[in-house]
Amino acid sequence: MTSPRLHLAGITKSYPGVVANRDVSLTVMPGETHAVLGENGAGKSTLMKIIYGAVKPDAGTVVFNGRPVLIRNPQEARASGISMVFQHFSLFDTITVAENVWLGLSKRLSLAEVTHSIAAKASEYGLDIDPSRPVHTLSVGEMQRVEIIRALLTNPQLLILDEPTSVLTPQAVGKLFVVLKKLASEGCSILYISHKLHEIRELCNACTVLRAGQVTGVCNPALETNASLSKMMIGAEPPLLTRRAPKVGVPVLQVQDLTLAREDQFGVDLDGITLEVRAGEVVGIAGVSGNGQKELLYALSGEDVRSSPGSIRIGEVDASRLHPGGRRKLGLHFVPEERLGRGAVPTLGLAHNLLLTRHEAISSPRFAGGWIKVRQLETHAAHIIKRFNVKAGGPRAAARSLSGGNLQKFIVGREIDAQPTLFIVSQPTWGVDVGAAAQIRGEILALRDAGCAVLVVSEELDELFELSDRLHVIARGRLSPAVPIGDASVAKIGAWMSGLWHEEVQEHLASLAPTDLVGGQHA
């Protein structure tokens, strides 16, 4: 029989107050695509970091290609034939794509050779990226492409992917799966972490389930259903979303002909963005990463105040030149796609992270004479932790100590807890397990039913179809007309992601009969 590519036995890793992995055993064969499934905080990422040499286990053995190994760091892992794409990217913002990739490759290669290799690999796998771009100018989806390309350039024998499709469009996911299936057919083993159960069932031929750091099951996911996998992972099937017909009220957010030049050479110009979100509805914006989502969200949140007067209104107020604090006073609360750095300060505890977006309420019980009342602040944070089922070491736990999904739950919970009248959220369930994703989506719909105006920007079409009452597409800095969700389809929205709604509108106008014309213009 073929010997395993990787065999783990008795892996244990503890941190203060928590056991991340407890006596974990796992076997991966050559050419096998092996899923590691578990809810947020189950110990999946820690286990992958142990294999990659980024974390040292307290106990247990790692056998790679039939030999016991002690992998002391990621450089040794890559030299051995192990590459990893992290959920939270390990890129330096201030240098270019090519320079970031170069850091992890052989020093015998020149920067020019690496640049050429990136372009060739990106073209081959449909993960197009400009090697000369500084990383800080990239969207989250583009950073994901860089990480994947960097891993592929090492020609790995074992490729570890931690939530690789969380910010990719369905078309890009399809292309990635073609790549992964080809790699597996050539003998490369793949360890695949994802909360998207349909992906696991399509791609993987083995699965190990973790719960609270321990192995609780092994299966062939192709023989399971989404419901059975959910039950193995979280002990129950995720609750079904209940949608009521929207009770739409007055406009809360009005964007009229918003045109903004990009602030850097790799950004996207916003061109005539017109958008309305009314009380009691969810409006979704779909699009391929890097088509102006970042620029639009900066303008709406108040991080970019260059908008023309009158182009952004919140309620009856011209908010185009207001900074984030002023917009929060009008009822706007915002969840950015970047959790660490923009959504939360990594080194601060969860309680103090509440102050990032709640400090305007100086008259609240958390303040007295300008002083922070820490006990009340921690009580409030504990309430959010409990309500949103955040797995954390309490209100004082540093934001960076949480798993990605648990930090996302806390940040979303923090803003929903503020009872906004306008809620703008980007990638609301990125990297969140199926149970938590259902909870977050349910909370968003509950906000909408309570009369809040909600704008959701997401690259997951399934999510947008589940949440939205109306749907737009953004492409090359322009926004499509709104489509009622009942009239939308994956094929239509997918085509519009390439900016093809212009052609569709023109075809529709050309098909109108002369009786549809009013005063020489199309009705």
- Could you write out the three-class secondary structure of 447-505? HHHCCCEEEEECCCHHHHHHHCCEEEEEECCEECCCEEHHHCCHHHHHHHCCCCHHHHH
Per-residue pLDDT tens over the stretch 403-440:
888 899 999 999 999 999 999 999 998 878 888 888 89
Q: Look at residue 409 and tell me if it is in a domain.
A: no
Cα–Cα distances in Å, from 244 out to 461, 467, 488? 20, 11, 18
For residue 517, the model assigns a pLDDT of 39
Do 257 and 178 belong to one domain?
Answer: no
29 and 69 both lie in a single domain: yes
Q: Are residues 118 and 219 in the same domain?
A: yes
- C-alpha–C-alpha distance, residues 501 and 19, integer Å: 52
CA nearest to 276, candidates 295, 260, 258, 256 = 256
Cα separation of 445 and 470, whole Å?
13
Give domain status of residue 391, yes or no.
Answer: no
3-state SS, one letter per residue, for 113-134 = HHHHHHHHHHHHHCCCCCCCCE
Please tell me the predicted confidence (pLDDT) of residue 28.
97
Question: Considering the domain boundaries, does residue 425 fall inside one?
Answer: yes
Q: Are residues 230 and 96 in the same domain?
A: yes
Q: How many alpha carbons fall within 13 Å on the CB side of residue 374?
A: 4
321 and 202: one domain? Answer: no
The answer on 275 and 156 residing in a single domain is: no
Is position 365 within any domain?
no
Ranges of the chain with pLDDT below 50 = 361-363, 508-509, 512-523
Same domain, yes or no: 304 and 268: yes
Looking at the structure, tell me whether residues 177 and 278 fall in a common domain.
no
In whole angstroms, give the CA distance from residue 179 to residue 170: 14
> Is 1 part of a structural domain of the chain?
no
Residue 411 domain flag: no
Instruction: Name the nearest CA neighbour of 139 among 513, 477, 510.
Output: 477
What pLDDT, in 10s, does the model give residues 217-226?
999 999 999 8
Q: Are residues 29 and 140 in the same domain?
A: yes
Q: Which of 209, 234, 259 is the last residue of a domain?
A: 234
pLDDT for res 359: 67
Q: What is the CATH number of the domain that holds 467?
A: 3.40.50.300
> Residue 411, exposed/middle/buried by CB under 10 A (0-12, 13-18, 19+)?
buried
Select from 174, 202, 234 the last residue of a domain: 234
Domain region containing 463:
251-331+420-510
Residues 294 and 220 in one domain: no
CA separation for the pair 91, 354 (Å, rounded): 27
Are 230 and 305 within one domain? no
Is the distance from CB of 11 to CB of 24 less than 8 angstroms?
Answer: yes
Q: What total of structural domains would you count in the chain?
A: 2
pLDDT at 233: 84
The structure's pTM equals 0.75
Assess whether 442 and 485 both reside in one domain: yes
376 within some domain: no
* Residue appearing with tokens 């096998």: 32
Q: Which of 201, 234, 267 is the last residue of a domain?
A: 234
Assess if residue 397 is contained within a domain. no
